[in-house]
């Protein structure tokens, strides 16, 4: 990292602001002392120009459509690696050797079961509870079950908590699904790989043998890789902010899950599929394109647009390929939803409104079709996103805790409410 200064003129005064340069990507102006020097805050709702931290984990170039985990292109990781290798990379910074990978897989696998009392916890939910509601509650509740990994000052406990969450998230996600359909929970089977094990916990029943289809397991594993981290997005920033107060890691990840649930973020895959179902057939696409362009209509094309990508989301390309592979494996030749999606994408990519605003398909555009074909209900889509993003949240949380300059996150505000005024007793108001 290199440093230089920039000069800012504030009310006629010249202020020196240190400029910090990263390895790649935009440099930042360090405004940490601006308030002390000028009495002014900066104003940036939505953090469109604000870097909140230094990070070595993930790099995005939104204009070029580039995504790197620890420097490695997402395309290469998705093509050649597996999800647990990606987890190792995100957590430790380097790709594992064969021995390190075997050891990591073993450590994750030893933590796949959840405390059996969690079963009783589930019984308290309504049968029709949204599985994301269950996930927020159950992941937060892990801190009530695993007291021996909540001391954030202990490096060993931090790592045990990380392993626990990566390992238990599939088990909890599958339990949330099984609970919603009234089937018995299926315990993890540790001789299976991470993703096959998850598929089995979701789709096996005690009365029949179940073997995960390797093509589907590989496709889902790739989907997990694509979702594993995405630098300082809303849910990751939520995890960092929650963690900055010293909250335990399970509580922080529960906060991240809550944030992910929103339709502008992780909930978009569910919303995108519902939109494709609502459109129903290619002839109706122009009507929906017109709605999306109408300033007086709040409708947006779900699965389109991204705060950072002003180019094709690199994950969306891999996702589209995966969608075709999954549908081919399942022998689904004519999927009306896929027809609508392909046509919608073609039309939107040529439409002046979308071109001018640089609105391209994001990862959520195709992921819903794929997950639906695999047998997941729409309500599980965001849960699968949370499962995969857990490692990113944990990696970013750990990076923050280990940063000696870390302090509690505490944004400032521009106050526009009433100035100081005197209390009026209720009998005199009117």
Binding mask of the shown chain, residues 342 to 371, with x at each position contacting ligand ACO by CB under 6 A = ---------------x-x--xxx-------
Both tokens assigned to 331: 């022998």
Of 105, 193, 229, 364, the catalytic one is 364
Question: Number of helices (H) and strands (E), helices first, in the chain?
Answer: 18, 6
Q: Tell me the window of 27-35, 154-162, 183-191, 258-266 that interacts with ligand ACO (CB under 6 A).
A: 258-266
Q: Which residues from 307-346 bind ligand ACO, rule CB under 6 A?
A: 307
Residue 304 as a binder of ligand ACO (CB under 6 A): the answer is: yes
Q: Tell me the window of 9-17, 161-169, 260-268, 323-331 that interacts with ligand ACO (CB under 6 A).
A: 260-268
**Alpha carbons 382 and 266: distance in angstroms, whole number:** 6
**Alpha carbons 121 and 144: distance in angstroms, whole number:** 11
Residue 256 as a binder of ligand ACO (CB under 6 A): the answer is: no
- Burial of 76: CB neighbours in 10 Å, binned 0-12, 13-18, 19+: exposed
Residue 257 as a binder of ligand ACO (CB under 6 A): the answer is: no
Residue 300 as a binder of ligand ACO (CB under 6 A): the answer is: yes
Both tokens assigned to 220: 């889902």
Q: Are 302 and 186 in contact (CB under 8 A)?
A: no
Is 364 assigned a catalytic role? yes
Which residue, 135 or 359, is less far from ligand ACO as judged by CB? 359
Residue 306 as a binder of ligand ACO (CB under 6 A): the answer is: yes
Q: Residues with Cβ < 8 Å from 219, sequence gap 6 or more?
A: 322, 325, 326, 329, 370, 374
Residues touching ligand ACO, count (CB under 6 A): 18
Q: Are 17 and 8 in contact (CB under 8 A)?
A: yes
DSSP string, 322-391: HHHHHHHHTT----HHHHHHHHHHHHHHHSHHHHHTT--B-THHHHHHHHHHHT--GGGHHHHHHHHHHH
Which residue, 140 or 305, is less far from ligand ACO as judged by CB? 305
CA distances from 220 to 179, 214, 236, 323, 374 (A): 22, 10, 22, 10, 9
Helix 214-227 / helix 314-329 crossing angle, nearest 10 deg: 170
Q: How far is the CB of 365 from ligand ACO (least distance, A)?
A: 7
Q: How far is the CB of 65 from ligand ACO (least distance, A)?
A: 13
Q: How far is the CB of 121 from ligand ACO (least distance, A)?
A: 29
Q: Are 89 and 70 in contact (CB under 8 A)?
A: yes
Residue of 78, 302, 326, 374 interacting with ligand ACO (CB under 6 A): 302
Q: How far is the CB of 410 from ligand ACO (least distance, A)?
A: 23
Residue of 169, 176, 268, 279 interacting with ligand ACO (CB under 6 A): 268
Q: How far is the CB of 343 from ligand ACO (least distance, A)?
A: 16
Residue 82 as a binder of ligand ACO (CB under 6 A): the answer is: no
Residue with smallest beta-carbon separation from ligand ACO = 305
- Catalytic annotation, residues: 306, 364
Could you list the residues that contact ligand ACO (CB under 6 A)?
264-266, 268, 292, 300-307, 357, 359, 362-364
């Amino acid at each position: 990292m290199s440093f230089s200064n920039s000069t800012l003129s504030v009310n006629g005064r010249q202020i020196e602001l240190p400029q910090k340069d990263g390895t790649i990507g935009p440099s930042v102006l360090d405004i940490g002392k601006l308030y002390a020097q000028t009495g002014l805050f900066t104003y940036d709702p939505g953090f469109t120009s604000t870097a909140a931290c230094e990070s070595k984990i993930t790099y995005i170039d939104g204009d070029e459509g580039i995504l790197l985990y620890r420097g490695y292109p997402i395309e290469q990781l998705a093509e050649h690696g597996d999800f647990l290798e990606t987890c190792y990379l995100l957590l430790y910074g380097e790709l594992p050797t064969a021995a390190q990978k075997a050891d990591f897989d073993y450590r994750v696998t030893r933590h796949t079961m959840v405390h059996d009392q969690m079963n009783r916890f589930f019984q308290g939910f309504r049968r029709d509870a949204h599985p994301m509601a269950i996930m927020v509650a159950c992941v937060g509740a892990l801190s009530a079950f695993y007291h021996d990994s909540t001391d954030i000052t202990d490096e060993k406990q931090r790592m045990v908590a990380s392993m626990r969450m990566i390992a238990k998230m599939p088990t909890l996600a599958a339990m949330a699904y099984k609970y919603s359909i009234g089937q018995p929970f299926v315990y993890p089977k540790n001789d299976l790989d991470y993703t096959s094990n998850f598929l089995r916990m979701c789709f096996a029943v005690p009365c029949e043998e179940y073997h995960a289809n390797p093509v589907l397991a590989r496709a889902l594993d790739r989907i997990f890789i694509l979702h594993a981290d995405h630098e300082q997005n809303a849910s990751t920033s939520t995890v960092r902010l929650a963690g900055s107060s010293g909250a335990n890691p399970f509580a922080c990840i529960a906060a991240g899950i809550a944030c992910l649930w929103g339709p502008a973020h992780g909930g978009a895959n569910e919303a995108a599929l519902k939109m494709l179902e609502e459109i129903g057939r290619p002839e109706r696409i122009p009507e929906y394109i017109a709605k999306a362009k109408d300033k007086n209509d709040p409708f947006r094309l779900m699965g389109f647009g991204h705060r950072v990508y002003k180019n094709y989301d690199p994950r969306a390309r891999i996702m589209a390929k995966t969608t075709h592979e999954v549908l081919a494996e399942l022998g689904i030749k004519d999927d009306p939803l896929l027809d609508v999606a392909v046509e919608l994408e073609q039309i939107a990519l040529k439409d002046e409104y979308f071109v001018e605003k640089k609105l391209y398909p994001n990862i959520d555009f195709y992921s819903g079709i794929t997950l639906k074909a695999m047998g997941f209900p729409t309500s599980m889509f965001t849960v699968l996103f949370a499962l995969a993003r857990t490692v990113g949240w944990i990696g970013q949380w750990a990076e923050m805790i280990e940063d000696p300059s870390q302090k509690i996150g505490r944004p400032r505000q521009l106050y526009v409410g009433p100035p100081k005024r005197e209390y009026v007793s209720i009998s005199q108001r009117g």
